[in-house]
Chain A
Amino acid sequence: MKARLAALVLAALPWAAPLAHAEDLVFLSTQLRPVEEAQKMRDAILKPSPVPTTYVADVPQVVPTRLAAERQGNTHTISVVGALHGEIQPLVATNDLAPLDTLAAQLSGRGIPPALMELGKLGTAHQMYIPWMQATYIMVANKQALPYLPKGADLNALTFAQLNEWSKAVQAATGKRMLGFPAGPQGLMHRFFEGFLYPSYTGGVVRTFRSPDAEAMWTEFAGLWKSVNPNSASYNFMQEPLLAGDVWIGFDHVARMLDALRQKPNDFVAFPAPSGPKGRGYMPVLAGLAIPNGAPDMKGATALIDYLSQPATQIKMAQTAGFFPVVAATLPDDLEPGLKLAVGAIAKTQASSDARPSLLPIGLGTQGGAFDKIYLDSFQRIVLRNEPVRATLDRQAESLRKIMTETGAPCWQPDAPSTGACPVE
């Protein structure tokens, strides 16, 4: 039996090689990883592309390791890397990316907003990535929750105070805490503090970290948390608790709620995140395309990026994957119902009169994780462990100050510009 098995294995060996298209360009992406979305990416986007491409989806942590290994081993397999702004940033420090200035000039007619192009420079003098697609965070509510909306409240111009009243009313009626946040280990809760809560209440993120506004904000948020489903500490993606009916009102990244909207477009409504005293803070999410140094197919890689940033391709991306164009392109009217809900909520967020866009942290390099942790730790101490607000903020502010001075990162929107490292006031 063993001999037969060995023969079988040996017979299979030469088989495996021709199955993969060895000459194809490898496109390594940390986005569109879920099997269904990766499949759509392969079928709808990459099959018609002028460059034959093998699409490899990988978790973000693996990308720097892989590039470093290929650099040290002097064998390159990856030609294009697609990742979030924050995931590409560490690759610049290790000098793993090729500058794309010529390509950027070539694409200047596509209508990519200058602010996004500037983000693609990652604080260097060169274009390090080409903006690929964008998304943001929205709120989704089960229609069963709508009758409890406070009188006179407009869903599309909700305030945090109204959200509090609303979830309290739902709790009183159902006896359950039906508001949900993605505060699980893989959840994106830190972005809620950095991009939504802080900007809405204090008008800043770093400068105003320990301001009196921030103190009031945390006290109010701790009150709101009393009507939040306690399972939130384990939610990574809000679509599942929403579909299961464990949560009626949820906040998350649009791509992490899209499945709920798509499966039951008639059961849910989507709307912008609430506003606070200083406006409606929201964080746009940006993914970019980069080419590693020593890419085996430089020409194919530029051609692929060119193809992916064509308006027609970008519209198709929005229809299939729920990420939205960075170039000048208008979405068609006949979108599928779930996607239409998401697009509507994003458009309303961007167009709202009190919108206060807050960028992802810029210039923190490898300290990005430590920065997020400051906000998550403050949340855990103040909200979950009931520690005094003032003392906690003061202590966390010390750590934050240390990160800012070590990295020397200047302030980014919504904080007022600074000369030198962004100060914690």
Chain B
Amino acid sequence: MKRQLYLTGVLALCAWTLVPIYFLALGALGGRDLVNTFPKPFWPGSASFTTIRDFLAIDGVAAATLVSVETACLTMLFALLLGLPAGYALARFSFPGSGLFRLLILLTRAFPVAILALPLTVGFIRLGLYDTPLGVSLLHTALALPFAVLVSSSLFQAVPRELEEAAWVFGCSKFEAARRVVLPLALPGIAAIAIFAFVISWNEVFAGAVLTVRHRTLTAYLLTVLSESPLHVQFAGGFVLILPTIAFIYAVRKHLFAMWGISNR
């Protein structure tokens, strides 16, 4: 009985993630006609990659993909470089106003980017960051940072202080102890932060569209126009857009599972 319940749960969870992806793939591979038929066949009669190939052959998709990867990687890098030390400080040192600081960090997400669009763009033009992946990634970092700081602070809190103190006893400097003892223990969580930063940057449309002209990120390049395209193209686009995220999560899955391990301990 218990085992049955367990199996049903596993199946339901698998279906929860796999069914939408399956329908997306079905729409992307089935071509124009299948998209409008209902109920849909389980297996498309004539699966073909034509739609996806046509989609990828669109001018600028390759260049935009490169910009997107670059922006997402930079965002990930900045979010980790700035977020981890801040999280460590919040976890290990108590200073007056640390509670307020946590709240203020969240406030950066309270301002809608759409309102800031004009002043931001003007500022970026003056700084020479307009239309560069670096500029877009800076804004994406600002969006990803609250999560990075708060999650990494609770992550570092979960690493027992005694381990760090033991390292000091054995002659590590504070920095060395953090790097050689705390960081490896927090690695799974850090992987999650990295994924989150990557995904935020990959999915963000508005900044990517307003701050760039020639060097669009893939999402900005396609998503603004994708919603107005014929359905089968939308499916192909959606399918192509989720693939990198799935691949990335697959690549770091080991670290993610380890994180659940920590939380269960």
Q: Which residues of chain A have a CB within 8 Å of any CB of chain B?
A: 2, 5-6, 8-9, 12-13, 15-16, 19-20, 22, 26, 28, 33-36, 38-39, 42-43, 54, 56-59, 62, 65-66, 68-70, 72-75, 77-78, 237, 239-240, 243-245, 259, 263
Contact = CB atoms under 8 A, between A and B. Distances in A.
A62 B124 CA distance: 16
19 contacts: A2-B80, A5-B76, A12-B66, A13-B133, A15-B66, A33-B224, A35-B225, A36-B230, A42-B59, A56-B216, A57-B224, A58-B209, A59-B209, A66-B210, A69-B118, A70-B121, A73-B124, A73-B130, A77-B131
Contact of B209 (A8, A16, A39, A62): A62
Given A5-B73, A20-B215, A73-B130, A62 B58 contact: no
A379 B198 CA distance: 45
Nearest to B252: A1
Contacts of B237: 35
Contacts of B32: 263
A39 B131 contact: no
A74 B123 CA distance: 11
B63 A34 contact: no
Contact of B122 (A22, A54, A69, A259): A69
B177 interface: no
A75 B125 contact: yes
Contacts of A263: 32, 230
A295 to B, nearest CB: 13
Given A72-B122, A263-B32, A35 B214 contact: no
Contacts of A65: 117-118, 121, 210
B74 interface: yes
A9 B226 contact: no
A45 to B, nearest CB: 12
Given A5-B77, A65-B118, A69-B121, A19 B209 contact: no
A33 B74 CA distance: 29
Contacts of A38: 58, 225
Given A5-B77, A19-B66, A65-B121, A59 B224 contact: yes
B231 interface: yes
A12 B225 CA distance: 27
A247 to B, nearest CB: 12
Given A9-B73, A16-B215, A57-B224, 17 more contacts: A13-B133, A33-B225, A35-B55, A35-B229, A56-B216, A59-B224, A66-B213, A68-B118, A69-B118, A69-B125, A70-B121, A72-B122, A73-B121, A237-B228, A240-B36, A244-B36, A263-B230
Interface string B47-67: 000000001001100010011
Contacts of B70: 9, 12-13, 16
Contacts of A68: 118
A368 to B, nearest CB: 20
A245 B38 CA distance: 10
Contacts of A70: 121, 125
Cβ-closest 6 pairs across A and B: A73-B125, A69-B121, A34-B229, A20-B214, A33-B225, A19-B63
A386 B14 CA distance: 47
Contacts of A39: 58-59
A230 B122 CA distance: 45
Nearest to A28: B213
Contact of B77 (A6, A19, A20): A6
A36 B130 contact: no
Given A70-B125, A244-B38, A78 B66 contact: no
A2 B133 CA distance: 19
Nearest to B70: A12
B91 interface: no
B225 A16 contact: no
A43 B59 CA distance: 9
A15 B70 CA distance: 10
A56 B213 contact: yes
B118 A35 contact: no
B233 interface: yes
B230 A34 contact: yes
Contacts of B233: 34-36
Interface in B211-226: 213-216, 222, 224-226
A16 B224 contact: no
Contacts of B126: 73
B146 to A, nearest CB: 21
B69 interface: yes
Given A9-B73, A35-B237, A78 B213 contact: yes
Nearest to A259: B230
B71 to A, nearest CB: 10
Contact of A240 (B59, B124, B231): B231
Nearest to A72: B122
Chain B CB within 10 Å, residue with most, of A6, A9, A36: A9
A62 B213 contact: no
Q: Name, among B66, B117, B133, B225, the residue most crowded by chain A CB atoms within 10 Å (CB to CB).
A: B225
B225 A34 contact: yes
Contacts of B118: 65, 68-69, 72
A58 B224 contact: yes
Interface in B183-234: 209-210, 213-216, 222, 224-226, 228-231, 233
Contact of A75 (B130, B133, B222): B130
A191 B20 CA distance: 36
A62 B69 CA distance: 24
Given A54-B214, A72-B122, A73-B126, A35 B58 contact: yes
B133 A16 contact: yes
B11 to A, nearest CB: 31
Contacts of A43: 59
Contacts of B67: 16
A9 B77 contact: yes
B211 to A, nearest CB: 9
A263 B131 CA distance: 38
A75 B127 CA distance: 11
Contacts of A56: 213-214, 216
Contacts of B58: 35, 38-39
B214 A33 contact: no
B60 to A, nearest CB: 8
